[in-house]
Amino acid sequence: MHEYSIVQALLAQVTAEARNHGATAVRRVEISIGELAGVEPDLLETAFEYFRERTICTKAELVSRRIAAAWACRVCGRERRQQSYLRCERCARPFDLVRGDEIILDKIDMEVPDV
Q: Which is nearer to Zn ion, 85 or 113 (CB)?
A: 85
Please report, as ranges, the residues that interact with Zn ion according to CB under 5 A.
Answer: 73, 75-76, 78, 88, 90-91
Q: What is the pairing mode between strands 61-67 and 25-34?
A: parallel
Closest residue by Cα to residue 15 from 103, 110, 80, 115: 110
Pairwise CA distance, residues 25 & 110, whole Å: 6
Q: How far is the CB of 90 from Zn ion (least distance, A)?
A: 4
Q: Which is nearer to Zn ion, 65 or 87 (CB)?
A: 87
Q: How far is the CB of 34 from Zn ion (least distance, A)?
A: 23
